[in-house]
Amino acid sequence: MNYWEYINRTNLVDHLKPFFENGTLKIRSDGNIEYNHRRNGESQWLHKKANSRFCALYHFVLFNIYGILPSFCMECWKIAVKPKTLKDLMTLHRMQKEMNVESKCGIETREFVRVPYGGYFYTESKEDGLEMYGIVRKKVDEMLSSDTDVILKRGCSEFELKFGASDKWQQTDQMKLIEKEVSKYFVWDKPVTNEPEFMIENTIKNWIKHAYKNGDDTYLEYTGGIGLYPPLVTYHKELNKEKEK
């Protein structure tokens, strides 16, 4: 890779300019770059315990912008729980609070994920992942149901879509170079993941609307049995009445 190719491939200004402009990323006075964790207060997820993963860099920048497989993500193992209903999601949220381990749960809006809700527990090795899987599987059986899907996976699903099966992942020399040159400018103050009550309430409000949209009537348990929107006036039953005459 010659110098021209190098500065075009690793250049931060060209690649990240839209995110500097909209406030997602900020160039600090010391020349380093930081990520705005809560730019507008909206979220589809509720987190438990401090997140040790700088996913704003690994996923948002290195993967989404530069198209590489970050080395850290190759050592990310997560237990994914797939609640069937909003009621199950609320139970999973309570379960994660009780367990007090690094985790999150919320609504799935990615087009390639075929479930409406998700929960994740994070570990840093396959061995730790297998151990945590056994703990989570038992808890889910007790608090949700034994037919709730629980799996152990490596990294994010987006990575498998781009790079193939996770057991075949490898970093190229070019990926290693880009990761090194881009990462050195990013600083990370670990976000406070114990959200304030007003953010928790807003996120759960989004969950309830998501449940309604997906035909999950367990949302009624949180609205006093009152629908979010009034039912439509329909007229097709008049045809049956005419036939009965």
pLDDT tens per residue, the chain (245 residues)?
788 887 787 888 888 888 888 888 888 889 899 887 655 567 899 988 766 678 889 998 999 999 999 999 999 999 999 999 999 999 999 999 999 999 999 999 999 999 999 999 999 999 999 999 999 999 999 999 999 999 999 999 999 999 999 999 999 999 999 999 999 999 876 655 567 888 899 999 999 999 999 999 999 999 999 999 998 999 988 777 666 65
Q: How many CB atoms lie within 10 A of CB 227?
A: 11
Token pair listed for 213: 């949209």
User: What does the block give as tokens for 44?
Assistant: 């589809």
Q: Measure the CA–CA gap between 91 and 154, rounded to whole angstroms.
A: 25
Domain parsing of the chain, residue ranges: 3-244
Q: What is the pTM of this model?
A: 0.85
Alpha helices (H) along the chain: 3-10, 12-21, 55, 86-99, 126-143, 157-163, 173-183, 197-213, 237-244
* Residue 188 · residue 26 · CB < 8 Å: no
How would you classify the pairing of strands 117-123 and 33-35? unpaired
Q: What does the angle CA 214 – CA 137 – CA 206 come to, to the nearest 5 degrees?
A: 25
Cβ pair 133, 122 in contact under 8 A: no
- Whole-angstrom CA distances from 241 to 55, 196, 233, 238, 244 are 60, 55, 16, 5, 5
What count of other Cβ atoms lies within 10 Å of the Cβ of residue 172? Answer: 10
164-167 long-range contacts, Cβ below 8 Å, gap at least 24? none
Residue 243's φ and ψ, nearest 5 degrees, are: -70, -30
Residue 123 bridge partners (DSSP): 77
Query: Radius of gyration over alpha carbons of the chain, in Å?
Result: 22
Compute φ and ψ for 46, nearest 5 degrees: -115, 130
